[in-house]
């Protein structure tokens, strides 16, 4: 009359299947976490290079419009962007030499345009490398 309680429900999966299913779900979670990490890395590269491009664009328009280089804002932009422009500063000869007579003149800075193009291309190269590495180590190959 008294039967021991049946701990297993008729619709319950065997313990081995549950463990396998849990492992599979854990792999999916790990893959999603890895995907999020790589997407954040990509987005960080885009944001940093985007900010650099905005800074260089401000410098370009200040030079093109003949802004006073002694102005506080212009000086701040020029000083902040100088390290990024310096590798390209002697690529092409500037149309005017910088003397006291030419301060504030309108200057089409081709070197600055080249710098912006190169930094943009480097951004896409870095993102491509990040995506390539992700595809190599990703279990799902997203």
Q: What is the pLDDT along the chain (142 residues), one digit of tens a residue?
A: 565 555 555 555 567 788 888 888 888 888 888 889 999 999 999 999 999 999 999 999 999 998 899 999 999 999 999 999 999 988 888 665 555 544 556 788 899 999 999 999 999 999 999 999 988 887 655 5
Q: What is the DSSP string of 5-50?
A: ---S-TTPPPHHHHHHHHHHHHHHHHHHHHHHHHHHHHHHHHHHHH
Contact 77, 85 (CB under 8 A): no
**In whole angstroms, what is the distance from residue 70 CA to residue 92 CA?**
24
**In whole angstroms, what is the distance from residue 89 CA to residue 92 CA?**
7
């Amino acid at each position: 009359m008294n039967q021991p309680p049946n701990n297993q429900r008729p619709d319950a999966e065997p313990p081995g299947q549950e463990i396998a299913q849990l492992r599979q779900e854990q792999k999916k979670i790990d893959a999603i976490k890895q995907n999020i990490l790589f997407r954040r890395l990509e987005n960080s590269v885009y944001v940093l290079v985007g900010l650099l491009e905005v800074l260089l664009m401000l410098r370009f328009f200040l030079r093109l419009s003949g802004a006073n280089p002694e102005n506080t804002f212009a000086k701040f932009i020029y000083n902040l962007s100088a390290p990024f422009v310096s590798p390209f500063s002697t690529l092409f000869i500037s149309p005017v030499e910088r003397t006291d007579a030419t301060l504030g003149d309108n200057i089409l800075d081709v070197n600055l345009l080249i710098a912006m193009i190169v930094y943009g291309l480097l951004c896409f190269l870095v993102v491509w490398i990040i995506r390539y590495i992700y595809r190599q180590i990703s279990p799902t190959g997203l």
